[in-house]
Chain A
């Protein structure tokens, strides 16, 4: 009994009250536990209603507690959310997801081989960036978090430029300043990734408001993980978007884990993340994030709505982070390894491939050949990037760039510090010449 407890017991007027209890959420499964997901409610595909894109936000609120699904157990696309993509588009979607996965595999190995400091895979979550990128216009501005490499791949951003950034080499367009995978690609309408969480959410709203102020037709879309919905920025963004009816699509990628903290630490024990939309009075959709067709259809719905001045939509993508948070953590230390194999919504690449096969538009042989080809494509890009250097091997940007871009112009104090840095360099390497 703590001192506080003793004190309480000494107060006779309160002695008949139960002691207050603090609830600290705990995930169902820890390392070594057998995994049973039967508690998850997974409705059948095709049964969720699809309201009109111009409907009152409240008409979507039932969907915030449901799960929009298109691909059924028989791998057929069913129901009103079926986007009815042609086989060529489906194959393109499959190829982009597979390419993202091949890219992740190669970059993960590159990190393990010491070519860079850090990497983050999106394995199992490919649909949540590839399908939205295909559903948005190519010049809609995206404000990603750190696991949307698929957007750059879908928008055709040069893979070698992505790897140059990851290797922080002399060809890195960000001059070696950012942690690997924190890309910035204005030409692909892809905003600079911060690394601080949720900050991109109000920024996306601001961009969308600016687009509306200027009478533009482009909309904004933002991504974050379910864990980051706890940040104040998320709620500021929701408020501003609701107040100004901003043309923005909010994506919450609920992959169940924020490093080692399960979604319960962001409030998942109480309600869904899509349900945040209800409180703000904006449209919301909860989607099977491993069903690329459902993700595509939901994004399309939200984008059309935003473009028609119908306002913001919050989309929760219910998915699973199949691997670690990053190269810096071992998920076997905090969760059961069975979670991945038992995940009831399967794998997005396998599901789309099975759908194409069910349509008679794809074969296992074609898939195997594609995987080999994509691995070669990534390998060639990695090789080309390695010619520009890997992290820590001296092939970095010129020394003076350390002080550039702090401000538009170099102020006196940075000039002085730049001179000092050059002096230090000459002390260490007397032969050194500024490149």
Chain B
């Protein structure tokens, strides 16, 4: 990707803010709401300036009630609006879970298309910021398990904007998890080294105005022959750094959308490389890596030359002081890469 006059350098927060701005200007049915999103512009500043530009009836603060935020969004969707609620941290989403799982996800089905829930729930997720167990979780597998929800996770400012626009335009409910560890730069897992800003990363070049990245399309971050690496969000950058450090010619795939999943890109890659490494930050048991592993095994078994490797967070709550012991960083990934190389 090269800089052109229509590109600007943005960090992920700015790219998300830009996507909301572009869409609110295009479509007056879009409303943005959530805790602290109005005048203040959000605790991560993702909605900064929007209330001033679009007014208090389109961008507003809400009571501290995730059940209420999602439930109200479902009703607004039934009216014909296109709400984009923010849940301040993914860890806070559980009081709204029934409204997502039993209501938003099933409304189209249960009403045979009479009512739909064209809602995009934005929420910062993931750890590595010393957030402790209530500001660090990666609960994506709870949502990928639900029929009727789409789950999207960007890994660059460029993708964040294009995917968020596609999510807002989608007529089904979308969970849009933003890896907050990479809001300001592509953190690569080496927490003892400085993080490069997005301005120096190709993914920080963001087209101005409207553009969309279709949901359900993965991105091949890097072509390679030695193994296929499946990752999303922060872990794309961690995996990329570890494999570069080790000099392994891996094919790294950024899934971008977990549901619907780009199975064709995954299948083509694993059939080529014969090895598969899955990396996510979420806890291991029942994590989305288990689904990926099953799919690869079902579809690529006769191409596999080694057992599929899963690198994940541990099955513990996200710790505070021992955050880096929990985090699936370079050592854990490196060990798995070595096993695959030796196989």
Interface residues of A (CB under 8 A from B): 141, 143, 173-175, 177-178, 182, 184-186, 191-192, 194, 196, 199, 201-214, 220, 232-233, 236-237, 239-240, 243, 405-408, 411-413
Contacts and interface: CB of A to CB of B under 8 A. Distances in A.
A194 B103 contact: yes
B110 A205 contact: no
Interface in B100-127: 102-103, 107-116
Interface residues of B, number: 47
Contact of B114 (A186, A208, A214): A186
B57 A213 contact: yes
Contact of A191 (B78, B171, B172): B78
Interface string B147-161: 110100000000000
A408 B109 contact: no
A211 B72 CA distance: 12
Nearest to A239: B63
Given A177-B112, A206-B72, 9 more contacts: A191-B78, A199-B99, A201-B71, A202-B70, A202-B71, A210-B76, A214-B79, A220-B75, A407-B260
B90 to A, nearest CB: 19
B98 A206 contact: no
A199 B109 contact: no
Q: Give the 6 A-B CB pairs with smallest separation, nearest first.
A: A206-B75, A202-B71, A236-B68, A206-B72, A210-B79, A203-B75
Contacts of A214: 79, 81
Nearest to B74: A203
Interface in B189-245: 216
Please indicate which of the listed interface residues A177, A240, A243 has the most CB atoms of chain B within 10 Å of its own CB. A240
Given A210-B75, A239-B63, A199 B147 contact: no
Contact of A240 (B68, B99, B107): B68
B35 to A, nearest CB: 12
B73 interface: yes
Given A186-B114, A406-B109, A408-B108, A199 B75 contact: no
Contacts of B79: 141, 206-207, 210-211, 214
Nearest to B172: A407
Given A211-B79, A236-B68, A173 B261 contact: no
B286 interface: no
A338 to B, nearest CB: 38
B71 A239 contact: no
A236 B172 contact: no
A129 B79 CA distance: 22
Contact of B260 (A186, A405, A411): A411
Contacts of A192: 107, 110-111, 114-115
B336 interface: no
Nearest to B75: A206
B319 to A, nearest CB: 29
B317 interface: no
Interface of B: 31, 57-58, 62-63, 65, 67-68, 70-81, 83, 95, 98-99, 102-103, 107-116, 147-148, 150, 170-172, 216, 259-261, 263
B71 A203 contact: yes
Contacts of A233: 67-68, 71, 98-99
Contacts of A408: 108, 116, 170-172
A210 B73 CA distance: 9
A184 B172 contact: no
A210 B81 contact: yes
B110 A207 contact: no
Contacts of B150: 407
Contacts, number: 144
Given A211-B79, A213-B31, A232-B95, A405 B113 contact: yes
Nearest to B103: A199
B121 to A, nearest CB: 14
B68 A202 contact: yes
A213 B32 CA distance: 12
A243 B63 contact: yes
Contact of B102 (A199, A202, A208, A411): A199
Given A203-B103, A232-B95, A405 B71 contact: no
Given A199-B103, A408-B108, A210 B71 contact: no
A206 B62 contact: no
A413 B148 CA distance: 12
14 contacts: A174-B111, A175-B112, A178-B110, A184-B115, A192-B114, A202-B72, A203-B103, A207-B78, A210-B31, A213-B31, A236-B63, A237-B71, A407-B148, A408-B172
Contact of A196 (B63, B80, B98, B109): B98
Contacts of B68: 202, 205, 233, 236-237, 239-240
B288 to A, nearest CB: 14
Please indicate which of the listed interface residues A177, A208, A209, A243 has the most CB atoms of chain B within 10 Å of its own CB. A209
A202 B67 contact: yes
Nearest to B117: A203
B110 A236 contact: no
Given A199-B99, A412-B260, A184 B65 contact: no
Contacts of A407: 108, 148, 150, 172, 260
A94 to B, nearest CB: 31
Contacts of A207: 75-76, 78-79
A280 to B, nearest CB: 11
A186 B78 CA distance: 10
Nearest to A204: B75
B112 A405 contact: yes
A206 B76 contact: yes
A175 B98 CA distance: 24
B98 A203 contact: no
Contacts of B78: 141, 191, 203, 206-207
Contacts of B261: 413
A199 B71 CA distance: 7
A205 B115 contact: no
A204 B115 CA distance: 13
Nearest to A416: B263
Please indicate which of the listed interface residues B65, B80, B95, B148 has the most CB atoms of chain A within 10 Å of its own CB. B65
